[in-house]
Amino acid sequence: MKYGSPMDQICLIIGAGDDTGSAVARAFAAEGLHSVLVRRPRHRDKLETSAQTIRDMGFKATARGCDARDEDAMAELVAEIEAGIGPVEVAVFNIGANVNFGIAETTPRVYRKVWEMAAFAGFLMVHNVAPHMIRRKCGTIIFTGATASIRGNPGYAAFAGAKHALRALAQACARELGPKNIHVAHTIIDGMIDGTFIRENVPDVDGMRKADGILSPDDIAANYVYLHKQPPNAWTFELDLRPWREKW
């Protein structure tokens, strides 16, 4: 652990979905952190199931429903965690917001909503956790990006715009917070993830898995733990993760 505290050290996961987000929560809980899984309130039942799974493994986890786009709600969430559960040692922003519409079909409402979910919410997370990390002079912040973070493709104007903005936010934060002993990293997840949506909609997922042709949520999570454990003399800012067969 990086510092002493009578309270649990926290891994905060904003966007703790059923697959990658939950895998990240399990991985950090196994490292001895108390994982706080956050998702929109309407997914509270699924969140609690994921948290209970971690507790059944003998580790610590708490579920919290929160709209990550809500300024007041995010401020209250972080304040509650810091005061009542423990100091946020790791903060992971994992909201995707992937949509596919042609530019003529992308309404202003869709574009704004995707930006709020995938970019503005990331700002709200770091805006609220950074002051606590700065005061303690340590911490890790990880932003989950995608291929759209560095390349805009047809039909993904809204998604690429938001993910580009998130990457720029991560770059600015890494340069500002690095000298304060806070590690900021951005990951590019390039390829299909072996999750519920893919398993239900893509044929031959079993074959892809056997051929190591699809990303495993657990292996993504292991890389996030690796980022957290890096020494300051060899910090990674951007980490690309993709199956060997993915074109790039």
pLDDT digits (tens, 9 = 90+) for 73-125: 999 999 999 999 999 999 999 998 899 999 999 999 999 999 999 999 999 99
Helix (H, G, I), strand (E, B) or coil at 47: helix
- 74 within domain boundaries: yes
- 3 within domain boundaries: no
Taking the chain, what is the end-to-end CA distance rounded to the nearest angstrom? Answer: 37
Q: What is the domain-level CATH number for residue 44?
A: 3.40.50.720
- 2 within domain boundaries: no
- 248 within domain boundaries: no
Q: Which amino acid is at 66?
A: C
pTM tops 0.75 = yes
What's the pLDDT score for residue 5? 47
How many domains would you assign to the chain? 1
Helix or strand (DSSP H, E) at 91 = strand 88-93
Q: Which tens digits make up the pLDDT trace of 229-243? A: 999 999 999 999 999
Between CA 185 and CA 171 the distance in angstroms is 8
- 82 within domain boundaries: yes
Between CA 117 and CA 95 the distance in angstroms is 7
- 39 within domain boundaries: yes
- 177 within domain boundaries: yes
Alpha helix (H) residue ranges in 18-104: 20-30, 44-56, 71-84
Which of 90, 125, 109, 122 shows the shortest CA–CA distance to 1?
A: 90
Domain ranges, residue 134: 10-241
Q: Which tens digits make up the pLDDT trace of 18-71? A: 899 999 999 999 999 999 999 998 888 899 999 999 999 999 999 999 999 999
